[in-house]
């Protein structure tokens, strides 16, 4: 007798009818061969998995997701390491036109990785040497480039009202084939000027670092950097002017180098932890009129009132004083430029005036109602006294 039969008789000792040959074979198949059977084909009992060990619904999927997530993290770290190694190998020659406070502020970070030259009408040689970059006077810029070669990137960091004259006064050779970057607080104005005045073979990147020497003194982490790729020449445009022969392969190579040049410049701000915000110049100015301009406007207005700290200052009032200090530390030229060269600023000023009138009117209306209510109460009290007297 086989072990299976013995096991069958042990399990079903009181079922003689099941011992008929056909029924026996069917029963044995159900017991030993069917997938749902709790017995193995060898006759040994196959234990069901413990409820404690059985995978909960979705547990396998979650484990897979976590595994994929970790793989992506590893891949991201690998890409970041590869990118950092590539950035260390490439250097840009950057010229900063306008080497005042903001120009020097940018140069301190740019010079960590790239070759920087400051250029200005004033003499900032000592400041440039302290930062670790070169310097030349704007009047000598042509001879400087003839001696040392052209620049990959030209950053124009002058005051908004001086932007047009600065672009017009500089030699066109400085801009030819270079990436021209503005860092003005308004965007449509410099965009229009550069598209009109710069050589056609220059690339244009409109940017606005939403911070300065005060707010970015210790770190650029999480500070906003707005930019628009206004004009990056396509390969078809470059082919027609490469050595005057239309070398298609050389044109494609220059196209790639121009794209890399833009990305390499943007990487300066990415590596410093800035929040990179790509948007059109038009959208930027619409947002700025209701944020940057109105902040400067309120700061200047409150400054005129002569607000000072008191022993009972609230947190809100402390923030107001901080707003006054921050905005008024910037030059009047910046404030004027935010107004004159952003077509949305005049509307913002009118809306602020209307809002002030509306708030004043609401206060007067409430005061009038309060007065009417108090007069009515007085008359009611007098009537009650007279009634009691009668």
pLDDT at 371: 75
Average pLDDT of the chain, as a whole number = 83
Q: pLDDT value at position 177?
A: 93
Longest dimension (CA), the chain: 126
The reply to whether 165 and 108 lie within a common domain is yes
pLDDT tens digits for range 297-340: 999 999 998 999 999 999 999 999 999 998 898 889 989 999 99
pLDDT at 329: 87
Assigned domain for 268 exists: yes
**Which string of DSSP letters, residue by residue, matches 323-346?**
HHHHHHHS-HHHHHHHHHT-TTHH
Q: Which two tokens stand for residue 273?
A: 């932890």
Q: pLDDT for 218-228, tens place per residue?
A: 999 999 999 99
Q: What is the pLDDT of residue 89?
A: 79
- 96 and 223 housed in the same domain: yes
Confidence of residue 354 (pLDDT cuts 50, 70, 90): very high
Structure tokens at 292: 């940057």
268 and 316 in a single domain? The answer is: no
pLDDT above 50 (res 239): no
Same domain, 222 and 102: yes
Looking at the structure, do residues 276 and 173 belong to the same domain, yes or no?
Answer: yes
Say yes or no to pLDDT of 18 above 90.
Answer: no
What CATH number corresponds to the domain at position 207? 3.40.50.720
Q: What is the mean pLDDT of residues 185-202?
A: 96
For the cut 60, the answer to whether the pLDDT of residue 202 exceeds it is yes
Q: Is residue 93 part of a domain?
A: yes
What average pLDDT does the segment 21-48 reach?
53
Measure CA of the first residue to CA of the last residue in the chain; give whole Å: 126
Residue 136 lies in a domain: yes
Share of the chain above pLDDT 90, in %: 59
Residue 319 lies in a domain: yes
177/154 Cα distance (integer angstroms): 11
Q: Is residue 122 part of a domain?
A: yes
Question: Are 156 and 101 in the same domain?
Answer: yes
Predicted local distance difference test score (pLDDT) of residue 26? 58
Pair 204, 309 in one domain: no
At residue 388, the pLDDT reads 67
- The model's confidence at residue 80, banded by pLDDT at 50, 70 and 90, is confident
CA quadruple 73, 74, 75, 76: dihedral sign: positive
> Residue 299 domain-assigned?
yes
Name the band, by pLDDT with cuts 50, 70 and 90, for residue 48. low
The model's confidence at residue 241, banded by pLDDT at 50, 70 and 90, is: very low
Question: 133 and 263 share a domain?
Answer: yes
Q: Is the pLDDT of residue 240 over 50?
A: no
Average pLDDT score over residue span 173-178: 95
Please tell me whether residues 272 and 314 are part of one structural domain: no
β-pair type (224-231, 203-209): antiparallel
Residue 372 domain-assigned (yes or no): no
Per-residue pLDDT at 38 exceeds 60:
no
Answer yes or no: is pLDDT of 42 > 50.
Answer: no
Residues 227 and 92 in one domain: yes
Which residues constitute the domain of residue 197? 86-233+255-280
Whole-prediction pTM value?
0.71
Q: What is the pLDDT of residue 222?
A: 96
Residue range 95-130, pLDDT digits in tens: 999 999 999 999 999 999 999 999 999 999 999 999
pLDDT at 16: 52
pLDDT-above-70 percentage for the chain: 75
Q: Examine the pLDDT at 132 and tell me if it is beyond 50.
A: yes
Sheet holding 93-97, edge to edge: 134-137, 115-120, 93-97, 153-156, 179-182, 203-209, 224-231, 275-278
Is 273 contained in some domain? yes
Domains: count for the chain: 2
Q: Above 50 in pLDDT, residue 242?
A: no
Please determine, for residue 20, whether its predicted confidence score (pLDDT) is greater than 80.
no
Out of 163-167, 239-243, 247-251, least confident range: 239-243
pLDDT digits (tens, 9 = 90+) for 247-281: 555 554 555 588 899 999 999 999 999 999 999 99
Indicate if 145 and 272 belong to the same structural domain. Answer: yes
Task: Give every CB contact of residue 296 below 8 A, 6+ residues apart in sequence.
Answer: 327, 330, 334, 335, 338
Is residue 202 domain-shared with residue 105, that is, in the same domain?
Answer: yes
């Amino acid at each position: 007798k086989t072990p299976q039969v013995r096991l069958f008789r042990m399990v079903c000792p009181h079922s003689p009818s099941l011992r008929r040959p056909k029924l026996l074979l069917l029963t044995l198949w159900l017991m030993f061969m069917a997938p749902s059977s709790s017995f193995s084909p060898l006759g040994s009992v196959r234990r069901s998995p413990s409820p404690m060990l059985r995978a909960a619904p979705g547990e396998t999927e979650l484990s897979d997701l976590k595994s994929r997530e970790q793989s992506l993290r590893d891949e991201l770290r690998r890409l970041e390491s590869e990118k950092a190694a590539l950035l260390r190998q490439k250097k840009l020659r950057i010229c900063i036109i306008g080497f005042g406070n903001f120009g020097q502020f940018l140069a301190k970070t740019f010079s960590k990785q790239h070759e920087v030259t400051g250029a200005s009408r004033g003499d900032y040689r000592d400041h440039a040497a302290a930062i670790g970059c070169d310097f030349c006077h704007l009047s000598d810029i042509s001879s400087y480039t003839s001696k040392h070669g052209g620049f990959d990137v030209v950053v124009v960091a002058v005051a908004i009202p001086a932007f047009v004259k600065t672009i017009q006064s500089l030699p066109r050779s400085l801009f030819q084939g270079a990436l021209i970057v503005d860092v003005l607080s308004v965007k449509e104005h410099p965009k229009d000027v550069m598209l009109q005045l710069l050589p056609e073979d220059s690339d244009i990147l409109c940017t606005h670092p939403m911070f300065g020497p005060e707010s970015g003194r210790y770190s650029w982490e999480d500070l906003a950097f707005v930019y628009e790729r206004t004009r990056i020449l396509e390969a078809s445009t470059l082919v027609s002017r490469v050595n005057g022969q239309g070398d298609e392969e050389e044109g494609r190579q220059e196209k790639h180098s121009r794209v890399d040049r833009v990305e390499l410049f943007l990487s300066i701000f990415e590596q410093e932890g800035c929040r990179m915000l790509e948007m059109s110049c038009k959208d930027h100015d619409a947002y700025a009129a209701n944020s940057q301009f109105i902040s400067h406007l309120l700061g200047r207005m409150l400054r005129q009132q002569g607000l000072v700290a008191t022993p009972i200052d609230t947190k809100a009032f402390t923030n107001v004083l901080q707003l006054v200090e921050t905005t008024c530390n910037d030059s009047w030229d910046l404030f004027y430029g935010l107004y004159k060269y952003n077509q949305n600023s005049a509307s913002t000023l009118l809306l602020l005036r209307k809002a002030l009138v509306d708030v004043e009117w609401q206060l007067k209306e409430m005061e009038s109602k309060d007065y009417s209510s108090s007069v009515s109460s007085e008359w009611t009290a007098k009537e009650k006294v007279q009634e009691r007297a009668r």
